[in-house]
Amino acid sequence: MHEGQLLLFLTQLLLVLASARLLGEVARRLGQPPLVGEILAGLLLGASVLGNVAPGVFGALFPSEPVQLAFFEATAQIGILFLLLVIGLEVDVASAWKLRRQSLSIAVTGVVVPLALGTATAWSMFDGWAEVPTTRASFSLLVGAAVSITAITVVARLLLDLRIAKSDLGLLLLSAMAINDLLGWAVLAMVLSLGGAGPGTGSAIVSIVAVVAFSAFAATLGRSWTTRLLRTLDERGYPNPAAPLSVVVCLGLASGVFTASLDIHPVFGFLVAGLMAGDHRALSEHTRSVITQMVESVFVPLYFAGICLHVDFVAEFVPELVIAISSLSIFGKYVGAWLGTLWSRLPAADRVSVAIAHVPGGSMGVLLAAVARDQQVIGPQMFVAIVFASIVSSIVVGPALAWALHRRETGTIATFLESGGILSSLAAVDRFEAIDVLANHLAPQAGLRPELVRQAVRAREETMSTALGSAIAVPHARLPDLHRPCIGFARHLEGLEWNAIDDQPVHFVFLVLTPEGDNGAQLEILAAIARGFEDPQTRNALLHGRDEREFSRKVREALDAGALASD
User: Domains in the chain, ordered, with CATH?
Assistant: 78-400 (1.20.1530.20), 413-564 (3.40.930.10)
Summarize pLDDT for 270-317 with one digit per residue, the tens.
888 888 887 766 777 777 778 878 887 888 888 888 878 888 888 899
Helix (H) or strand (E) holding 183: helix 168-193
Evaluate the CA torsion angle 367, 368, 373, 374 in order and state its sign: positive
Q: Is 419 helix (H, G, I), strand (E, B) or coil?
A: strand
Amino acid present at 424: S
pLDDT at 196: 43
Amino acid present at 407: R
CA distances, 532 to each of 11, 14, 87, 527 (Å): 45, 40, 30, 8
Q: Is 473 helix (H, G, I), strand (E, B) or coil?
A: strand
Amino acid present at 429: V
CA distances, 287 to each of 187, 478, 503 (Å): 30, 30, 9
List helix spans (H) across 194-241: 201-217, 223-235
Mean per-residue pLDDT, 59-80 = 83
pLDDT over 80 (residue 235): yes
Q: Are 474 and 526 in contact (CB under 8 A)?
A: yes
Mean per-residue pLDDT, 241-265 = 86
Q: Are 477 and 509 in contact (CB under 8 A)?
A: no
| Residue 297, CA atoms < 13 Å, CB-side half-sphere | 6
Q: Are 68 and 5 in contact (CB under 8 A)?
A: yes
Regarding pTM above 0.75, the answer is: no
pLDDT over 70 (residue 485): yes
Mean per-residue pLDDT, 229-258 = 89
pLDDT over 70 (residue 224): yes
pLDDT over 70 (residue 191): no
Mean per-residue pLDDT, 144-171 = 75
Select from 387, 318, 288 the least CA-distant residue to 35.
387
In sequence order, the β-bridge partners of residue 379 are none
Q: Are 426 and 442 in contact (CB under 8 A)?
A: no
**Largest CA-CA distance found in the chain, in angstroms, rounded:** 77
Q: Are 318 and 366 in contact (CB under 8 A)?
A: no
Buried b / exposed e along 261-273 (16+ C-beta atoms within 10 A): ebbbbbbbbbbbb
User: Rounded to 5 degrees, what are φ and ψ at 426?
Assistant: -95, 125
Mean per-residue pLDDT, 327-349 = 86
How many angstroms separate the first and last alpha carbons of the chain? 59
pLDDT over 80 (residue 94): no
Pairing of strands 476-479, 472-473: unpaired
pLDDT at 200: 46
Q: Counting beta carbons within 10 angstroms of the beta carbon of residue 131, is it exposed (0 to 12), middle (13 to 18) or buried (19 or more)? A: middle
